Amino acid sequence: MAFLIRTIDFTAAGREIVRDRTLDQTRLTVGRAAENDIHLPDLAVEQHHIGIDLTAGDTLAVRALGTLGFGLDGRVVTEATIDPQTGGEIALGAARLAVARENDGNIVITIRQVAPDEGKTDALRGFALASKLPGKRTMSWIFAVAIILLLLALPVASHLLRTPAKPDPTGKTPGAVLMDSAWSSGELSLKHHSLENNCESCHVAAFESVQDETCLSCHKDIGDHAKKPRLAKGMPPLSEGDALQWKIAEGFGKEGPLGCVACHSEHEGPVRTQAGSEAFCSDCHKDLKTRLTDTQLTAAHDFGKTHPQFRPVYFASFGAAKPVRAAAGSTPVERSGLVLPHDVHMNPRGGAARMAVSLAQYRSPLECKDCHAATADKVSFKPVEMEQACEACHSLVSGRTPGGALSKLRHGSVKNLAEDLARISTGPRPRLAPGRQRPGQLSSASPYHADFGRPVRAYIGISNALSVGGVCTECHLPTRGPTGQADLMPVNFPDRFLTSGYFSHAAHTKQKCTDCHAAETSKLASDLLMPDLKSCRTCHLGATAVKTAKIVPSDCAMCHAYHVPSGQWQGLKPAKPSMPHYKPPPEPAKKSTVAAKLAQVTP
Amino acid sequence: MASTARNRFQQQERRRDSDHVGFLQHRGYRWLWFALLLSGAAIAGYALIDQEPRPNGGTWYGYTLGTIGFGVILWLSLLGVRKRRINPGAWSLKAWTSAHVYLGLALIVIGTLHTGFQIGWNVHTLAYVLMLLVIATGIYGVIVYATLPQSLSANRKEMTRAQMLDALTALDRQLESAAQPLARAESDLVIAALGQDVFYGGALARLTGSYPGCKTAQALRGMGRATEAETRVVALLEKRREQLAQIRGALRIRALLEIWLFIHIPLTIALIAALTAHVISVFYYW
């Protein structure tokens, strides 16, 4: 067993010089001193640095002779064992001693010098993740520029350069601003959903909040809750946070807490705009008088606890031009001009009921709906029409037409009535005896006829009809016209009785009419059969009430709207207060059938 | 004199103590308490202050939270500036980092309450989501900084990075001479293994520690064990594989330590851009 020491050097020109020598011994020393077996002239190497011993197990035991260790396969150690079969590399200064076994069994130690590794620091950079990823700075720039360009610069630029799109509630006009949908903080409410693609229809100018003027360009019919100065005066003071926000916001052109958008906040999702809560109303109305001292409105904040008594609108005197509102808590005496005892009609065993049973039209005692028909919205009732509601019993039949049909007096106008009564005396009448004719008389087929009598009977007729006990006064009150002639009181009813609230009869179909309207016991037409607060409160309590089978928690918005008088009810302004409800029916159309002609000519 | 000495002693004790206290525990969790207080106050305000018609970024409370959040985000992003300015004083980098972490966590509460829980596909939610991602990567960063350096140290086995590379070079030199007797096909395997960059593999390979294209592993699979030379090469290749595994272990831990910053920083800048767009757009379409 011998060590083959192979030294590899390089000439200045780079040519490799290989020198081999064989040391036939089992121990080698390596160091800077010349007496070492392997002499390494390198200041980094100790005089006697390491010893290499061939052990019995055919391995090499390498040991540092001083305190300084040596490199073995890149690791610094002071003692190591090398299996020559696998080999190893000892590093001493700039020298590398590669140990390996030759095929002949000898152990070769190849010594070569390595150049100082100049690229090592660069190589160490490979450990950092940065070597494998795009730089943070690059990525930052890319993200930031993409976001600013796409989500800010593009919408702003297209907004500044656009031709403004018109607001179009049908939603057919898209907005002209690009990418501004990315600015939308949420979907619009259901009613505004068609404007989803046209932001400019509301957001007209840059950095300007949505203006009332813009809202009103579509919502032309909206009514003010009250005039703005009064609203401002009636409002409770804002909280400090709100006050500060509004102060700042108004400084930037927002329209203050009374502007549309203060309440109607948009982009809250595709929902219906919620009505204001009870607190929204009661904030002002619970103590309105403390701020708005001249208001006639009494305090209200919870329907079950604090709510003024209803004040229905009614006609307080016969033929009045305008209805009045009842004083709170008073018992109104209505002067409608009609004579109508409800109890007589409602009594299931009374004469009216008996008569109704006998009539094919009813076949049962009268019910409310026989006379009163609800309007389509089920809020109010249509005017009662004499022809439909009353005439089955209160007949105006005056005789028979020549054709045999029943003729009747026209209802609705005294003038028409007078004409009809006069016609009774002048119209063609049935001949006394058939087929007999004096010579020289005109043919019976001729339409000619004459009544040469005085018209006094007609005057008597109309006078009788209009005076007490006459046919008209069954329902109407007699009076005298401007010239003293007999006349009837005009019939006056307001369109609605409770004008400040909304009441749906459709929502109350489980109730009987008489649960709320005391018609069964009302003896006089002057009774105003409007229910009072107490009767409503049997079911309806304030919003905070606990819902049960009977109790309905009711907030203000159940009956009241904010933007009156734009809603269904018209405040205190009935459309035509002085006009009677009943219009004369239209003139019967001229009959043109053959049968009608024959009826006309037959005396 | 005595008092001066005691003062100096106390001063030095304090400094020594503070030198060994991590940024999370800085000053008895001062910034944790501050952040908890801030979040608690924000939650209490949100619960107690009635916002009509509903909580929203556009109420006065929403604007307040938004302004606080915006300010905090800008300040937090200045940590990158602060850490490049070496200056002593009470306002130390450690205090700054401590505040950075805890105030960043408080932003989850402040930002979420500012949204009023209204989320959509828009620039506003983009800013919110970016903020959450930045915070999430930050949380990850704190966790890995607390846990991974130990394993990094354990993986090194008292070797520096340079020594690991040296070891590989030493193995490579031995491999080259040991492979001299090999046939063509085997030689090519060794050439491929030696030719492959030690840092071969992308960021994903580093994070997962999975290198399916490793030529050393391929050479080991392809190498026969028939001759003595082949056995020797196989032994050396195995050593090389082990050395590579150590290096790759270091790379993996280091990648796990560093990856969050590659998201944290660019997303922070993206967040500031989105915040700018958010604030301007809100008032542009007021």
Q: Which residues of B136-157 are buried (b: 16+ CB within 10 A; e: fewer)?
A: ebbeebbebeeebeeeeeebbe
What residues of A are in contact with residue B233 (Cβ under 8 Å)? none
Stretch(es) of chain A classified as CATH 2.60.200.20: 3-117
Rg of chain B taking only CA atoms, in angstroms: 28
Q: What ipTM does the predicted assembly reach?
A: 0.88
Q: Nearest by CB to A245, which of B63, B168, B236?
A: B63
Using CB atoms, pick whichever of A98, A241, A245 lies closest to residue B174.
A98
Look at chain B and count its residues: 286
A184 in B contact zone (CB under 8 Å): yes
- Residue bearing tokens 């209204």: B118
Tokens of A399: 């005789």
* Contact map slice: A 273-292 vs B, CB within 8 A: 274, 280
Q: Where are the domains of chain B?
A: 26-156+260-284, 161-257
Q: Is the predicted pLDDT of residue B44 greater than 70, yes or no?
A: yes
Do B266 and A143 make contact, defined as CB atoms within 8 angstroms?
A: yes
Alpha-carbon distance of A491 to A477, in angstroms, equals 9
Place of tokens 């399916």: B212
CA B62 – CA B41 distance, rounded (Å): 14
Whether residues A263 and B124 touch (CB distance < 8 A) is answered with no
Residues 14-43 of B with CB under 8 A from A: none
- Among A76-85, A163-172, B203-212, B250-259, the least confident range: A163-172
A100 and B265: CB-CB below 8 Å?
Answer: no
- The beta-carbon neighbor of B266 closest among A136, A185, A199 is A136
How far apart CA B13 and CA B221 sit, in angstroms, is 60
Confidence at residue A454, expressed as pLDDT on a 0 to 100 scale: 54
Interface test with B, best of A101, A109, A151, A180 (most B CBs within 10 A): A151
- Total length of chain A: 603
More confident call, B232 vs A457: B232
The verdict on B132 touching A (C-beta cutoff 8 Å) is no
Encoding tokens for residue A314? 């009614």
Residues of chain B contacting residue A132, judged by C-beta atoms under 8 Å apart: 199, 201-203, 206, 255
Q: Of A126, A203, A265, which is closest to B53 when you measure between CB atoms?
A: A265
In B, which residues are within 8 Å of A178 by CB distance? Answer: none
Question: Which of A118, A149, A183, A252 to mutate against chain B (most B CBs within 10 Å)?
Answer: A183
For residue A490, whether the previous peptide bond is cis, meaning omega lies within 30 degrees of 0, is no
Q: Position B140: which residue type?
A: Y
Residue A450 has a pLDDT of 47
Distance between terminal CA atoms of chain B?
67
Does A184 contact B122 at a Cβ distance shorter than 8 Å?
yes
Q: Does B188 touch chain A (CB under 8 A)?
A: no
User: Looking at beta carbons, which residues of chain A come within 8 Å of B206?
Assistant: 129, 132
Residue-wise DSSP of A136-194: HHHHHHHHHHHHHIIIIIHHHHHHHHSPPPPP-TTS-S--SSTTGGGG--SPPPGGGGG
Query: Can you read off the two tokens belonging to residue A484?
Result: 């003293």
Chain A residues with CB under 8 Å of B235 CB are: 85-86
Closest by Cα among B285, B214, B276, B220 to B245: B214
CATH topology of domain A3-117: Tumour Suppressor Smad4 (2.60.200)
Q: pTM for this one?
A: 0.73
Q: Which residues on B lie below 8 Å from A129 (Cβ)?
A: 203, 206, 254-255, 258-259, 262
Kindly determine whether residue B169 and residue A131, on different chains, have CB atoms separated by under 8 Å: no
In chain A, which residues have pLDDT < 70?
Answer: 1, 117-121, 167, 169, 424-458, 564-603
CA of B238: how far to CAs of A534, B51, B242, in Å?
Answer: 98, 70, 6
Provide the pLDDT for residue B277.
Answer: 95
For residue B255, give the 3-state DSSP assignment. Answer: helix
Tokens of B231: 């056995």
pLDDT tens-digit readout, A35-68: 999 998 888 898 999 999 988 878 889 999 988 9
